[in-house]
Structures are given as structure tokens and as C-alpha cells.
């Protein structure tokens, strides 16, 4: 009996639906749509990717807003050493000396040093000291030089790293653990389309992440964006794909989400510390600066800051873009070589 | 530009290729060794005909899943050949995937997608899939079309897993433990779906450790143990090979344990005998000849009959006879 004879003729349906034909990109578009729907329906993702960076920017922006210089907290009360030690006061003045006054201050704390200088100046001037060189001071608190201006591009970079690593790395291992990857491989799905859909979903999220954070900075902190939207978008896209590639590599072999979580944190930890998210890496010894600058997040943060705060054209940023592209590209190639689909 | 005849005939349509085949799945001397130590499959041969429902029956850890995943082209065998409609897996994998519907053991589909979205997603990978509505109707999922997968019951999830396999209009359906952990009603529902698929000309390969499932569903089956096939044939065939269609189980008070087995074997119409969980089980051709003789013997020995039942022989008896173990150690 041949197969042709066995093929059923559906007589029970009066008007059988015409067989549909899927085009070349049908798999890709459905994978992308499914991914976006899943993300949209996951409240945690919405919070961590979109809301959390805004809260972080808001909190840090308020805590480290530029205070006027005379806001130093000084204690003249005797026995205030305790409050000084806890960081409540910047300076303790002991006026009960036989000769002059004694300043208790911490030379390692800028605000403490500043408070001592200001108080001393005021005291000496009041006692009749005359400045020998006449000076004029012009106050300037222009947007662009404040801590929040430094912070927002750093948060942007960190957020792109976080969501790239988790959004690709964690998602893939989760699918592998659920045997969903194996199930997909059991269909004629093109594996390249699958990875492309993941990368595309990252880029779509990237646009929203970057847009939200910049808009927030502009509205709440009157931040000024000097670079063009196009160059910022290009840098963010390269950064996003770079960390997508690194995420793919961390996820290439892991079978359990517990093991990939540890791995992702291990990869990200040095960059949280060194790459100048919250403070400039100039604070680290100069000898390790070349190493720090070779990290992909440093390159991304530097490129974002240069573009957003200084309006540096993209053509002057190619070494940073190259560092990112190398990290992403090499990770991607290695990941494809080692990737475990089943 | 002219197209020569040879060029045209060089790429026959899949259907034309399938038309001449009667063997759907074939494998020869299949072996799979994990980490150069664990031998999961040890020299397995199978030939499954088009239109057949074939079962791999065996206890957990017998190598059923490894075997079916090698046949599905998802696992590389250590050695041996596999062919699907005469094609090897390394020849034209993408084309071959168009013919196969697969349901793995325990795939956890995305919980935050709806039933319809999930089926549409799988449909999108195939060149000419079936209409999603039609598949949902067939698997009785229409009511749940817009529910999230996370909200489905076990039976509904399993039907959805089969729906993602059937949406591609497959020639072969691979099902790995399709009804494990399901309630009786859900199991029967799935059996009906599998039968309908087969009735429409489809070929089915399933694994199970439920003997009743194998007995009701499969045209032929292979009993797998320790990575090898220890018996193969139709369920009726296998039971026939036991010698007796009936099983007489009894227990006697007194010192009548294993040592007395030859005495029971000598009773009329008894084909084989074994001690099983405190009972003596006899495979019997004609119980009406055996039972009077059995009672007489017990009487002569001065024993007292504690328990006596007769039943139809099942695949479980075949398995116990072949391996000395039960199919499901619980």
C-alpha cells in the first residue's frame, strides 16, 4: 500500500482551509514576537530593565547633588569625636585651648579638608588677615559637569551590560534547562534566525532603555545631551550586541540556571568596580588604566560619556568601538563553536 | 536558458520520494556510550514500517529516550546508522525535519505565551503547516486558545506538546513517554489522538513504561532492557510466546517456597512457572486442566490454599519472564 492511497481526504470539512505557506522570515518574526510578548508579560523584567535604573539615577542624583560649599557640618561642641568618627560632622573645632583653636579633621575626606580650609580662612580673615593677591570667584554650576551628568551615561552602560548578559545568557540557559532549545532544534527552525531574533529583541529593548534614561535625565536633572541621537544610538547598539555576545558565550555550555547566574556575576563584577559606572576609574593607580580601558564596559561608558557630555563625533571614538566589537565578535564566534543546543 | 531533464529529476518533491518507501524508520547496530563509560544503548536494530504504530517498552533507564532522540536526530550515536525514509541525518537535516513531529519527554514550553501563540510559533518553522484553529480543535484546546501555558493542567500541557508536533502535518510522530503522569481520562484522550493520526496514514514511534498503553496502542513493539531489544513483535505475539495466555497465581501455607517450583511446572498445561512477590505464578494454556490438578496436588501435600486468581497474561508477564524484574519498580 503506498502512502498516496493512505493520505486522508478530509471530507468532513465542507471548506477546507487552503494550506498556508510560510515565507523565509516567518520563523524569525514569530520568534521575535514571542520573545517580546514574554518580556512584556514578565513584570520583573519591566522593573529591572526600565524602572530600576531610573530609581537608581533618581536616588544617587539626589544624594550626590552639588551642595553649596558652605554646607559643611562642623561641630564646636566638646567631646564630639564620636559624631566625627561616624561621618556626621566634617570637622570638629576645639576652641577651649590655651592658645588658638584645634581642628580635628580627616585628610582623606575631601569635604573634611574643605571645611577646615574654609573655617580657617574665615577665622583668619575675622582676626584681621589681609589677602595679598586680590581674587574674584565666579560661581559656575553648568549642567554637564555635575555628578548626575557623570552618572547617567555610566548607568546607561551598566544597564546595557546587565540586560545584555541576563537577557541573552540567562534566557538561553533557561530555555536549555526547560529542553525548549532541544525542542526547537527538532523543528526545521534556522538556528541563525533564533539567535538573530534574540539579538533583535535586545536592540528593541535597548532603544527603550536608552531613551527612557536620557529623557529622565533631561527632564529631572536638566541634563544636556550634546552628541547626536544617531551616534548615541550607534554606540548603545554596539554595546548592547557586545554584551549579547558575551552573554551568549557565558551561556554556551551551562546546563543549569544556577551555574550561569554565578558565571554572569563573575564576568560582570570586575566591570562594575573598574569600568567607571559610579566613579571615575582615574581613581585607580595609573598602572592598571590600560587594563581597565580594555574592558568592554569601560569602552562603552567612555564612548557614551564622550558622546553625550562632550558631543565627541563618532569618528573620533573608533578605538572604543573597536574594543567593544572585538569583545563581542570573539565571544560570538567562540560561543557558536561551543554552543550546546541540546 | 534550457533546463535539462536530468536537472529536473535531480530534485524530486519530498512526497514523490516518500511514495516509494515502505520503511519509515530504520536503524542498525545503534550504540551510545556516555563519557566513554555508561553504555545507554548497546547494539539496537529497528525497522518501522510506514503507517505503523511502534512502541519501545521498557523500565526507566532502559535506554528508550536515548534511542528515540538518536532516531530524531537530536543526539549523535556513538556508532550505527539511522535512516528516516531512506535518508541519513547528516544528508539533509532541514528537509527531514519537515516530515517529523516531535514531543520530547518533559519540555517546558514558555509559560507566558498563550496556547495559540505557542502553536503559531511552532507552525512558523515549517514550510506548509496546518491551520492553528484546526489543530486546536483536534486536540480539544480551542477553549484554552487564549490562556497562558502556565495556567494549563498537566493533561492540557501534554496535548499542547502534541499539538506543536502535529501542527507541521508530520509523516512521523515521535512521542517520548506521552502519557506519563497523566490521569486516566487524559491518557485515553491522547490515545485517541494518536490513533486518529495513525488512521490518517501517519507513522508513530512512542516510548512508554506502561504496558497497557503499549498493548492498546502499538501494532508492534520492542521490549528494551539495558540498552538492548530483548523481544520484538506484536503485543499478541509476545504474549503468545509466553506459551500460555492465562496466568494462575496462588499461594500455599507451609514450606512451599521456590524449592517446589518443578512440581508446579509438571502440572498439566503449564508452560512456565515463577515465584513472584510471595505468590507462585503459572503461565497456563488451559486453566480448566491445570486448576483441578493443582488443587489435588496441594491436597496431597497437606498444604492449605491461601490465595488463587486467574487472569489474562499481559506484557508485564512477558517482561517479568524475560528479565525476572517488573516493568515498574515502585
How much is the pLDDT for A86?
66
Residue A12 in this model has a pLDDT that exceeds 90:
no
Is A173 a domain residue?
yes
How much is the pLDDT for B252?
85
Retrieve residue A106's grid coordinates. 580627616
Q: Where are the domains of chain B?
A: 14-236, 243-312
Note whether B23 contacts A: Cβ–Cβ < 8 A: no
Judge whether B135 and B167 are in contact, CB under 8 Å: yes
CA B308 to chain centre: 32
The beta strands (E) that lie in chain A are given as 74-75, 91-94, 102-104
The average confidence (pLDDT) of chain A is: 86
Is A5 a domain residue?
no
- Domain range spanning residue A95? 72-123
B102 with A186: Cβ contact below 8 A: yes
Residue A261 in this model has a pLDDT that exceeds 80:
yes
Task: Output B127-132 pairs: Cβ under 8 A, ≥24 positions apart.
Answer: B127/A21, B127/A22, B127/A188, B127/B98, B128/A19, B128/A20, B128/A21, B128/A22, B128/B169, B129/A20, B129/A22, B129/B167, B129/B168, B129/B169, B130/A19, B130/B166, B130/B167, B130/B168, B130/B169, B131/A17, B131/A20, B132/B167
Paired sense of beta strands A91-94 and B100-103, if any: unpaired
B138-167 b/e (C-beta count within 10 Å ≥ 16 → b): bbebeebeeebbeebeebbbbbbbbbbbbb
- Residues of chain A found within 8 Å of residue B19, distances taken between Cβ atoms: 2-4
CA angle B15, B48, B221 (to 5 degrees): 145
- Mean pLDDT, residues B193-211 taken together: 93
A286, A176: one domain: yes
For chain A, positions 218-257, list CB contacts with chain B under 8 A: none
A88, A235: one domain: no
ipTM of model? 0.85
Note whether B107 contacts A: Cβ–Cβ < 8 A: yes
Is A87 a domain residue?
yes
How much is the pLDDT for B255?
55
Judge whether B56 and B221 are in contact, CB under 8 Å: yes
Over pLDDT 90: what percentage of chain B?
Answer: 57
- Residues of chain B found within 8 Å of residue A188, distances taken between Cβ atoms: 94-95, 97-98, 125-127
Count of alpha carbons within 13 angstroms of residue A264, beta-carbon side: 27
Q: DSSP per residue over B243-264, as a string?
A: S-SEEEEEEEESS-SGGGHHHH
CATH architecture of B14-236: 3-Layer(aba) Sandwich (3.40)
Is A255 a domain residue?
yes
Q: Give the C-alpha separation, A254 to B51, whole Å.
A: 40
Note whether B21 contacts A: Cβ–Cβ < 8 A: yes
A38, A76: one domain: no
Which residue among A7, A37, A187 places its CB closest to the CB of B97? A187
- Mean pLDDT, residues B102-111 taken together: 92
A118, A171: one domain: no
How much is the pLDDT for B176?
95
- Reported as a single tens digit per residue, the pLDDT across A209-243 is 999 999 999 998 888 889 999 999 999 999 999 99
Q: Which residue has the higher pLDDT, A90 or A306?
A: A306
pLDDT grade, residue A180 (50/70/90)? very high
Residue A1 in this model has a pLDDT that exceeds 50:
no
Map grid coordinates 531574533 to a residue. Answer: A197
- Residues of chain A found within 8 Å of residue B74, distances taken between Cβ atoms: 182, 185-186, 342
Judge whether A336 and A249 are in contact, CB under 8 Å: no
- Mean pLDDT, residues A336-341 taken together: 91
- Mean pLDDT, residues B82-89 taken together: 93
Pick among B121, B123, B171, B176 to test the A interface (most A CBs inside 10 A): B121
Judge whether B211 and B223 are in contact, CB under 8 Å: no
Residue A14 in this model has a pLDDT that exceeds 60:
no
A259, A290: one domain: yes
Q: Give the C-alpha separation, B79 to B36, whole Å.
A: 13
Is A257 a domain residue?
yes
How many folded domains does chain A comprise? 2
Comparing C-alpha atoms, which of B137, B32, B130, B124 is closest to residue B79? B32
- Mean pLDDT, residues A132-150 taken together: 77
Q: Give the C-alpha separation, A281 to B281, whole Å.
A: 81
Is A22 a domain residue?
no
Is A18 a domain residue?
no
Residue A224 CB: number of other CB atoms within 10 A? 14
A177, A292: one domain: yes
Judge whether B221 and B238 are in contact, CB under 8 Å: yes
Q: Give the C-alpha separation, A62 to A66, whole Å.
A: 9
- Mean pLDDT, residues A319-326 taken together: 96
Q: Which residue has the higher pLDDT, A90 or A37?
A: A37
How much is the pLDDT for B2?
41
For residue A255, give Cα distances in angstroms to A93, A178, A260, A337, A338.
62, 10, 8, 16, 13
A185, A294: one domain: yes
Does the domain at residues B243-312 carry the CATH identifier 3.30.70.100? yes
Q: Give the C-alpha separation, A314 to A300, whole Å.
A: 12
A198, A260: one domain: yes
B126 with A22: Cβ contact below 8 A: yes
A150, A220: one domain: yes
- Residues of chain A found within 8 Å of residue B75, distances taken between Cβ atoms: 342
- Helix ranges (DSSP H) in chain B: 5-10, 14-19, 64-71, 93-97, 115-123, 132-138, 154-166, 184-199, 211-217, 235-241, 261-265, 287-301, 315-323
How much is the pLDDT for A19?
65
A77, A225: one domain: no
Paired sense of beta strands A91-94 and B38-49, if any: unpaired
How much is the pLDDT for A296?
96
Retrieve residue A338's grid coordinates. 561551543
Q: Distance from B126 to chain A by nearest Cα, in Å?
A: 6
Judge whether B225 and B323 are in contact, CB under 8 Å: yes
Q: Distance from B225 to chain A by nearest Cα, in Å?
A: 25
- Mean pLDDT, residues B80-85 taken together: 94
Q: DSSP per residue over A193-212, as a string?
A: HHHHHHHHHHHHHHHHHHHH
Is A296 a domain residue?
yes
- Residues of chain A found within 8 Å of residue B119, distances taken between Cβ atoms: none
A166, A98: one domain: no
- Reported as a single tens digit per residue, the pLDDT across A105-116 is 888 887 788 888
A45, A95: one domain: no
Amino acid at each position: 500500500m503506498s502512502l498516496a492511497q493512505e493520505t486522508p481526504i478530509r471530507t468532513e470539512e465542507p471548506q477546507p482551509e487552503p494550506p498556508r505557506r510560510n515565507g523565509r522570515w516567518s520563523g524569525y518574526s514569530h520568534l521575535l514576537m514571542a520573545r517580546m510578548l514574554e518580556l512584556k508579560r514578565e513584570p520583573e523584567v519591566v522593573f529591572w530593565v526600565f524602572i530600576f535604573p531610573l530609581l537608581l539615577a533618581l536616588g544617587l542624583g539626589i544624594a550626590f547633588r552639588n551642595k553649596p560649599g558652605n554646607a559643611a557640618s562642623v561641630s564646636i561642641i566638646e567631646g564630639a569625636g564620636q559624631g566625627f568618627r561616624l561621618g556626621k560632622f566634617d570637622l570638629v573645632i576645639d576652641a577651649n585651648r590655651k592658645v588658638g583653636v584645634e581642628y580635628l579633621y580627616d585628610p582623606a575626606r575631601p569635604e573634611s579638608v574643605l571645611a577646615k580650609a574654609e573655617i580657617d580662612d574665615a577665622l583668619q580673615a575675622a582676626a584681621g588677615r589681609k589677602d595679598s593677591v586680590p581674587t574674584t570667584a565666579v560661581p559656575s554650576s553648568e549642567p554637564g559637569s555635575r555628578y548626575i551628568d557623570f552618572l547617567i551615561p555610566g548607568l546607561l552602560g551598566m544597564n546595557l551590560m546587565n540586560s545584555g548578559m541576563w537577557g541573552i545568557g540567562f534566557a538561553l540557559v533557561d530555555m536549555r534547562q526547560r529542553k525548549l532549545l532541544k525542542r526547537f532544534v527538532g523543528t526545521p527552525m534556522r538556528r541563525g534566525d533564533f539567535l538573530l531574533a534574540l539579538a533583535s529583541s535586545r536592540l528593541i529593548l535597548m532603544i527603550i532603555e536608552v531613551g527612557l534614561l536620557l529623557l529622565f535625565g533631561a527632564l529631572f536633572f536638566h541634563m544636556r545631551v550634546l552628541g547626536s541621537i544617531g551616534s548615541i544610538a550607534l554606540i548603545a547598539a554596539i554595546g548592547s550586541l557586545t554584551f549579547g555576545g558575551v552573554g551568549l558565550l557565558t551561556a554556551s555550555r551551562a546546563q543549569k540556571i544556577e551555574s550561569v547566574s554565578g558565571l554572569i556575576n563573575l564576568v560582570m563584577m570586575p566591570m562594575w568596580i573598574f569600568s567607571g559606572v559610579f566613579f571615575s576609574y582615574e581613581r585607580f593607580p595609573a598602572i592598571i588604566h590600560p587594563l581597565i580601558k580594555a574592558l568592554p564596559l569601560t569602552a562603552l561608558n567612555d564612548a557614551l560619556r564622550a558622546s553625550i557630555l562632550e558631543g565627541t563625533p563618532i569618528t573620533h571614538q573608533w578605538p572604543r568601538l573597536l574594543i567593544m566589537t572585538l569583545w563581542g565578535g570573539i565571544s560570538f564566534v567562540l560561543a557558536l563553536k561551543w554552543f550546546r543546543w541540546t | 536558458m534550457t533546463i535539462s531533464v536530468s536537472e529536473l529529476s535531480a530534485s524530486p518533491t519530498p512526497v514523490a520520494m516518500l511514495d516509494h518507501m515502505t520503511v519509515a524508520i530504520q536503524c542498525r547496530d545503534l550504540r551510545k556510550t556516555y563519557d566513554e563509560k555508561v553504555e545507554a544503548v548497546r547494539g539496537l536494530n529497528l525497522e518501522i514500517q510506514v503507517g505503523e504504530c511502534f512502541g519501545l517498552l521498557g523500565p526507566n533507564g532502559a535506554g528508550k529516550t536515548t534511542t528515540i532522540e538518536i532516531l530524531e536526530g537530536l543526539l549523535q550515536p556513538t556508532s550505527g546508522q539511522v535512516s528516516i525514509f531512506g535518508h541519513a541525518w547528516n544528508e539533509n537535516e532541514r528537509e527531514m525535519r519537515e516530515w517529523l513531529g516531535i514531543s520530547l519527554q518533559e519540555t517546558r514550553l514558555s509559560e507566558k505565551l498563550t496556547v495559540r501563540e505557542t502553536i503559531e510559533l511552532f507552525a512558523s518553522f515549517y514550510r506548509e503547516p496546518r491551520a492553528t484553529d484546526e489543530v486546536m480543535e483536534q486536540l480539544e484546546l480551542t477553549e484554552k486558545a487564549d490562556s497562558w501555558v502556565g495556567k494549563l493542567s498537566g493533561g492540557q500541557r501534554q496535548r499542547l506538546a502534541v499539538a506543536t508536533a502535529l501542527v507541521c502535518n508530520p509523516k512521523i510522530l515521535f512521542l517520548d513517554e506521552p502519557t506519563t503522569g497523566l490521569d486516566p481520562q487524559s491518557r485515553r484522550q491522547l490515545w485517541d489522538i494518536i490513533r486518529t493520526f495513525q488512521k490518517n496514514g501517519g507513522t508513530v514511534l512512542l516510548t512508554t513504561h506502561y504496558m497497557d498503553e503499549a498493548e492498546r496502542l502499538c501494532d508492534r513493539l520492542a521490549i528494551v532492557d539495558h540498552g538492548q531489544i530483548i523481544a520484538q513483535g506484536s503485543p499478541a505475539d509476545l504474549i503468545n510466546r509466553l506459551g500460555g495466555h492465562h496466568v494462575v497465581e496462588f499461594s500455599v501455607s507451609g514450606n512451599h517456597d521456590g524449592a517446589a517450583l518443578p512440581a508446579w511446572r509438571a502440572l498439566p498445561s503449564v508452560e512456565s512457572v515463577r515465584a513472584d512477590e510471595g505468590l507462585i505464578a503459572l503461565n497456563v494454556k488451559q486453566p480448566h486442566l491445570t486448576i483441578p490438578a493443582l488443587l489435588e496436588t496441594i491436597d496431597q501435600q497437606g498444604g492449605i490454599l491461601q490465595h488463587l486468581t486467574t487472569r489474562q497474561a499481559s506484557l508485564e508477564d512477558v517482561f517479568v519472564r524475560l528479565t525476572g524484574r517488573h516493568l515498574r519498580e515502585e
